[in-house]
Amino acid sequence: MTLDWLIIGGGIHGVHLAIQLIRGAGIPADRLAIVDGHPRLLARWRACTANTGMTHLRSSLVHHLDPDPWALKRFGARNRRLGGFAPPYDRPALTLFDGHCDALIERYGLAGRHRVDRVEALALGEDGVRATLASGEAVSARFGLLALGASERTHWPAWALAARAAGAPIEHVFDPDVRLDAAQPGRLAVIGGGITAAQLANRFAGERQVHLITRHPLRQHQFDSDPGWVGPRHLEGFARVADPDARRRIITAARHRGSIPPGTRRRLARLCDRGGVTLHVAEVSDARPLDGGLRLTVGGQPLDVDRVLLATGFAGGRPGGALVDGLAADGLPCAACGFPIVDTHLRWHPRLFVSGPLAELEIGPAARNIVGARLAARRIVPWASHHRAG
């Protein structure tokens, strides 16, 4: 059977766009499939957020997976046991946000539309797409949507890779098999200067002596880009920039990478004052195994710890690995930064749409966030509704 829509990636973006296609564009749920290799939808979101120990989202109550912006507020009023909203900007509790995601997945029957598999290659034709899966099966659809995220490759500094190869106890908080629920006493070094590093330091400061090592002074921003980037204030001007390389420069300048919201920073400052966290603004240049732990060289000085946790984010560059490399090699247009050049409907090819980081040159600096999925839906859904089968 040829499906109407094949969504590749079952994270925040893939799930939101599935809901939007069903509800907004009137695509019957059984004409759509989501392919994702994890046993559950939203697996990467849940694993990454759980490891940080974050209690609330950074974004506000209108950024979630239901097309209706006020749906999470109403859900929260009916399900107070799941948590509330925190100031500023009424940020939802993670438990509440996740409960709302579960309810939406259930309501739209999305678990039944999830194929636990990976897409290894996509053949694009005039009438549709044909995906070859890792299991060896093939799936055809009238349209494909790449919602691959950027979470599959974490960023490991060179010194950390060398230390891991030498057998030192060092992990990345976002690596797939890392679960940080067990309390382990001892001296912990957290590497990074953004919100995740601060959350980890806050999380473990009661249990261990925590060293937070950042190579830049802490930068404070409520959000990871100015809220003007989700509306016409900045996006109208961005749309008028024709040169994709200029768009990339604008995105790079607008994203507050490695930044911390004021509330998280205040909590960290209190822990530093009380001695639970020691802040080092310095580069790590070396790390070696030592007595079951590690000896780090931080700003030229030795620092002995029992364990290192990297909070250095995800690898830069175009995500999607061999699948996306293959599409680019087949001639789909890319900017100098390697990212797709897409039309205003987010089509990379007449039959293939993108969301998330792959849509960044069209959606702008918020493309990777939850609101980026909502912005992508505004481009894709009217088109999908207009081109519905039958």
Of the listed pieces 44-52, 162-170, 183-191, 382-390, which binds ligand FAD according to CB under 6 A?
Answer: 44-52
Of the listed pieces 42-50, 185-193, 346-354, 380-388, which binds ligand FAD according to CB under 6 A?
Answer: 42-50
Among 31, 44, 114, 349, binds ligand FAD (CB under 6 A): 44
Among 23, 368, 374, 379, binds ligand FAD (CB under 6 A): 368
Locus of tokens 């739209």: 108
Q: How many CB atoms lie within 10 A of CB 5?
A: 24
Beta strands in the chain, from DSSP E residues, in sequence order: 2-8, 32-35, 85-86, 91-92, 114-115, 119-124, 129-133, 138-146, 170-172, 187-191, 209-214, 219-220, 259-260, 277-281, 284-290, 293-298, 301-305, 307-310, 347-349, 352-354
Nearer to ligand FAD, 31 or 63 (CB): 63
Cα separation of 61 and 67, whole Å?
A: 13
Which amino acid belongs to residue 295?
R
Q: For residues 262-281, which are near ligand FAD according to CB under 6 A? A: none
Which amino acid belongs to residue 365?
P
Query: Do the Cβ atoms of 96 and 83 come closer than 8 Å?
Result: yes
Nearer to ligand FAD, 22 or 323 (CB): 323
Q: For residues 104-123, which are near ligand FAD according to CB under 6 A? A: 118-119
Shortest separation between residue 322's beta carbon and ligand FAD, angstroms: 8
Shortest separation between residue 61's beta carbon and ligand FAD, angstroms: 11
Query: Do the Cβ atoms of 319 and 358 come closer than 8 Å?
Result: yes
- DSSP-derived secondary structure for 335-389: -TTS-B---TT-EEETTEEE-GGGGHHHH-TTTTSHHHHHHHHHHHHHHHHHT--
**225 contributes a contact to ligand FAD by CB under 6 A:** no
Q: How many CB atoms lie within 10 A of CB 145?
A: 28
One character per residue 316-335, x = contact with ligand FAD (rule: CB under 6 A)? -------x------------
Shortest separation between residue 224's beta carbon and ligand FAD, angstroms: 8
Cα separation of 41 and 11, whole Å?
A: 6
Of the listed pieces 33-41, 243-251, 282-290, 335-343, which binds ligand FAD according to CB under 6 A?
Answer: 33-41
Rounded to a whole number, what is the distance in angstroms from the first to the last CA of the chain?
15
Among 19, 25, 33, 57, binds ligand FAD (CB under 6 A): 57
**18 contributes a contact to ligand FAD by CB under 6 A:** no
Of the listed pieces 149-157, 230-238, 246-254, 266-274, which binds ligand FAD according to CB under 6 A?
Answer: 149-157
Q: Which parts of this chain interact with ligand FAD (CB under 6 A)?
A: 8-14, 35-38, 43-45, 48-49, 52, 57-59, 63, 118-119, 147-149, 151-152, 196, 323, 356, 368-371
